[in-house]
Amino acid sequence: MQDNTMDENKPKYFDDDGTEINPDLIPFPKPSLCITCKKDGQVGEEEILCTLTRVEQQGEEEFICEACEPRDIEK
């Protein structure tokens, strides 16, 4: 018997039409703006919002994220 507990806890994503989106199958790299953001790698609500922002802008020439908070650069 297979344990589906992890699948049950994993957030589900839907586009504006209600079609489910699997973010693991989206064929584009994470934008550099995301990699430099404090929120990168957070789980929960932030992860969902970040993923939806990236999905929404897939294929756009420029990636814009109003919620981005640059990481503090250690000196």
What is the per-residue pLDDT for 72? 84
What's the mean pLDDT when you consider all of the chain?
Answer: 83
Residue 52, amino acid: L
Which pLDDT tens digit goes with each residue over 19-40? 898 877 776 788 999 999 999 9
Residue spans of the domains in the chain: they are 1-75
- Report yes or no: 25 and 55 within 8 Å, Cβ to Cβ: no
What is the per-residue pLDDT for 68? 95
- Report yes or no: 34 and 3 within 8 Å, Cβ to Cβ: no
